Amino acid sequence: MMQINDPILTVDRVSKRFDVSAPWLNRVLEGKPRLLVNAVNEVSFTIARGSCFSIVGESGCGKSTVARLVTGLYATSGGDIRFGRGAEGRPVRVQMIFQDPHSSLNPRWRIGDIIAEPIREMKLRRNEAETNSRVEELLQTVGLAADDARKFPHEFSGGQRQRISIARALACEPELLVCDEPTSALDVSVQAQILNLMRRLQQELGLTYLFISHDLSVVRHMSDMIAVMYLGRIVEMAPVESLFNQPLHPYSQLLLNTIPDIHAPKRARCVDNGEPPSPLNPPSGCAFHPRCALATDACREAVPPLRDLSDGHKAACLLAG
Ligand code: SF4
């Protein structure tokens, strides 16, 4: 198994259960049972300092719940989340970049105040002059003008607003950025600009990313490691080239097959046998078996463990390897 010497984040058998039952009175009067959804099931991974770890999967697979568990927006139902040390031995600072830059910026605040807020709250600069100069520096770092500090969020395009979100996240000098679909609300050409900016910032500032996306093609050029999630579990985890060159789980193969290829627009594609099942009523055994062309009776009986099949390449499939 691949060892990581200096992990910035260790997620150890973490689970998250949500109670989605009807109100107590309705349950009593209508005889409805309690309903629990296991959004995340015993998920484990480690992120090396300075790397980009991506989690990919369809909507509802639990990837955004993992992001919220890591940032503390949700409490875990089980398992452990541990951080390494931050700069100068202090606790690691974690910041989140959200999917929708429009709703994550206060429309009544000027950009300068939005970015300055964490600097003031955490007393990262000695006075207002230093805070303002730091805000200008951050705006220029993300490709905006220092004068933009006086404007309001509605005066910017979607891509510019995501740049502002990144500047605000950088304002508190974090080591770990959790990016939840940061480009999925943007046009394709703007997506590429934001991804290039994020890669440049990672190199210049030594940042670590936990990157969440539904699109394997988006994370390919960002990631060092990729985990593929399906119905609350990691079904494959591998270094990026290993996953793209030799996907071992049929679900990863399906995701890779859906990436458009400009050089082979008419290539044969494997057929997707339907939609993901409801997490309220997950299939027995391997949750992917209703969609898997290779499924056998054994696949319906027990959940396949995530096995290390070659150096650092793991898959949870009875037939893989
Ligand atoms: Fe398909 Fe069986 Fe592997 Fe699940 S365990 S992915 S059903 S072959």
Question: Based on the domain organization, do 77 and 200 belong to the same domain?
Answer: yes
Q: How far does the centroid of ligand 1 lie from the alpha carbon of residue 248, in Å? A: 10
Q: Are strands 94-97 and 78-83 parallel, antiparallel or unpaired?
A: unpaired
Convert the pLDDT of each residue in 97-144 to its tens digit: 988 877 888 999 999 999 999 999 999 999 999 999 999 999 999 999
**Quick one: average pLDDT of 294-299?**
94
Mutation pick for ligand 1 pocket among 234, 289, 314 (CB with most ligand atoms within 8 Å): 289
Domain boundary among the residues 121, 149, 173 is at 173
Residue 267: predicted pLDDT: 56
Q: Which of 101-110, 208-217, 270-279, 296-305 has the lowest mean pLDDT?
A: 270-279
Distance 259 CA to ligand 1 centre (A): 22
Determine, yes or no, domain membership for 225.
yes
Residue 56 has a pLDDT of: 97
For the record, the structure tokens of 143 come out as: 């490709």
Is residue 232 a contact partner of residue 253, using CB atoms and an 8 Å limit?
Answer: no
Residue 100 vs residues 161, 162, 164, 188: alpha-carbon distances, Å: 9, 8, 12, 15
For a mutational test of ligand 1's pocket, the pick from 248, 299, 307, i.e. the residue with the most ligand atoms closer than 8 A to its C-beta, is 299
Q: Do residues 150 and 279 both lie within one domain?
A: no
Q: For residues 32 and 22, is the Cβ–Cβ distance under 8 A?
A: yes
Query: Is residue 201 in contact with ligand 1, taking CB distance under 6 Å?
Result: no
Ligand 1 pocket residue status of 231, Cβ below 6 Å? no
Long-range contacts of 253-261 (CB under 8 A, 24+ apart): 254/291, 255/56, 255/57, 255/216, 255/228, 256/216, 259/216, 259/217, 260/217
pLDDT digits 0-9 by tens, 2-19:
566 789 999 999 999 999
CA atoms of 270 and 245, how far apart (whole Å): 16
* 86 lies in the same domain as 195: yes
d(CA 205, CA 170): 10
Residues 72 and 214 in one domain: yes
- Residue 156, both tokens: 């910017």
Q: What pLDDT is recorded for position 117? A: 96
Q: Identify the three-state secondary structure at position 36.
A: strand
Which residues, listed in sequence order, are joined to residue 14 by a DSSP beta bridge? 43
For a mutational test of ligand 1's pocket, the pick from 254, 292, 296, 306, i.e. the residue with the most ligand atoms closer than 8 A to its C-beta, is 292
Contact, 14 vs 43, CB < 8 A? yes
- What pLDDT digit, counting tens, does each position of 19-42 carry? 988 888 888 888 888 889 999 999
Which residue range is the domain that position 113 belongs to? 100-173
pLDDT of residue 270: 56
Question: Does 226 share its domain with 301?
Answer: yes
Same domain, 166 and 181: no
Question: What spacing in Å lies between the alpha carbon of 280 and ligand 1's midpoint?
Answer: 20
